[in-house]
Amino acid sequence: MEALIQSGLVQLGQAQAVPLEAPALLARYGKLLVEKNQVMNLTAITDPQDVATLHMLDCAALLNCAGFAGKSLIDVGTGAGFPGLPLKILVPSLETTLLDSLNKRVDWLNETIDALGLEGAQAIHGRGEAASREPDLGERFDFATARAVADLRLLCELCLPFVKTGGRFLAMKGTDCGQELNAALPAIQILGASVERIFDYQIPHTNVTHRIILIQKTAPTPEKYPRRWAKIQKSPL
């Protein structure tokens, strides 16, 4: 797994930009994930090669979209820690918060952070629509990320309230999300943001192409957002 990750970072043009120990740490994280997945549902991807490519290198592609050094990031609905934890390993100075609604996942993530010896990273329990209203979380981060399959209109209302003005929400999507993005444009505007650019990339050592949508926060989120989750689902912006 380590050699595959190292080779993939070379293909992404990032091998010289990340710490020397990053491939080994990512491989160790992958092994911890596969082991824990035997008793906890964390991922459907368990083959070591697929973990290296479809998880670790997929997340590493974010490095070609923005500069994360010395910045702060919240990963909303992080699940098994993607993409927030790989980014933290690749950019140690990135202050990283992993948000998830399931306590046992949060506990495992904090155990993994400790096992990997990472500083400046934490996993916290909460729901996106409630957590962003907390004073120490709302409008505070340089970046928010989401790798969830939820509709972009919903993700924007969950994620943009965490981002400070001038920061960015990085939405990881498939390349077939054109209609979804067009439908989300009104929501993006209402929430005080605009689409900065779209970045398509092929995951190294695969034929899989994904898309990252960079959404820049241009104004504070109106106080009425985010709404309750039931309302967000029932009446997307």
**In 3D, which of 59, 102, 60 has the Cα closest to residue 79?**
102
Centre a 10 Å sphere on the Cβ of residue 108 and count the other Cβ atoms it contains. 21
62 falls within a domain: no
Mean pLDDT (10-residue bins), the chain, 237 residues: 96 96 98 95 93 97 97 97 98 98 97 98 96 96 92 97 98 94 97 97 96 98 95 95
Q: Copy the structure tokens of residue 193.
A: 């943001």
Which pLDDT belongs to residue 43? 93
User: What's the total number of domains in the chain?
Assistant: 1
Which pLDDT belongs to residue 149? 73
102 falls within a domain: yes
Alpha carbon distance, N-terminus to C-terminus of the chain: 42
Query: Is 9 in contact with 15 (CB distance < 8 Å)?
Result: yes
Q: Which helix (H) or strand (E) holds 213?
A: strand 209-217
Which pLDDT belongs to residue 121? 98
> Which SS3 state, helix, strand or coil, does residue 222 take?
coil
Centre a 10 Å sphere on the Cβ of residue 121 and count the other Cβ atoms it contains. 24
Which pLDDT belongs to residue 103? 97
171 falls within a domain: yes
Query: Is 168 in contact with 217 (CB distance < 8 Å)?
Result: yes
Which pLDDT belongs to residue 201? 96
226 falls within a domain: yes
180 falls within a domain: yes
Which pLDDT belongs to residue 66? 96
Domain that holds residue 95: 69-234
Rg (CA), the chain: 17
CATH number at 227 reads 3.40.50.150
166 falls within a domain: yes
Which pLDDT belongs to residue 148? 76
| Separation of alpha carbons 153 and 60, rounded Å | 25
1 falls within a domain: no
38 falls within a domain: no
Which pLDDT belongs to residue 183? 97
